Structure 1
Amino acid sequence: MKNIPQLLIQFLIVLLLATAIVTLYFVYSFGALADKITFAAILQTIKQFGLVISIPTAILFVLADLLIRKIQTVWVLYFVRSVAFFGILSIVSLVLSFYLISNALLDNPFMK
């Protein structure tokens, strides 16, 4: 029971970090297509892509971290945590991209 608050804090930190990374990536990548980037556009990006990618990332990272904690060397622990975080974030982003692309292809209004 002592680990529940620690896991919750870790989940929230990973959730915020993943949401910030995904949002900054989308703003950086597609910001040139907009006339100007508003606060409403950033909030829409967070809702549409940031949370969709960061919630599964945070859940999977917290579950993986339960195994990663067995590492005794501090620098190896942080290195493995960062590799696991970015690996999980990449995999979840690829799954979402695959879903969006396949959904667009299947629901193509120009194809009969």
Structure 2
Amino acid sequence: MIAASLLLLGTAFSTTAFADEAWQQTVVDIAGVENYFREHCMMLEAGQTISYRYQSIYPLDFNIHHHPDNNTIFLYNEENRTSSRGEFHADNKDHFCFTWTNKVERGGEEWSVVLDYQVTNQ
């Protein structure tokens, strides 16, 4: 089983505070439909650490999970947040997924979540 540890660093941040060129960015589009969700997954090798931060204009539920042996293991869950940041360490190779869920009907309005992340070998 994959063991992972999370170190949450806080919730408020400025994207301009991080000038490191090693950071990558992904934009995930969200629809203002109740229970609409999107996920962004990436493969991590054993021993890698991923640092992340995201920001949304509307509150969303957020989780990090992976699927070893066709199971779903949740590493982190938070509800009703517009931003967060943290990091976790992958003890085994697997796809790890960041998932955002809109829990509120917003008339189909669309917006984007900006995810910044950095993968390092530890």
TM-score, normalised by the number of residues in structure 1: 0.25
The structure richer in helix per residue is 1
The structure richer in strand per residue is 2
Higher-RCO chain (CA-CA 8 Å, sequence separation at least 6): 2
TM-score, normalised by the number of residues in structure 2: 0.23
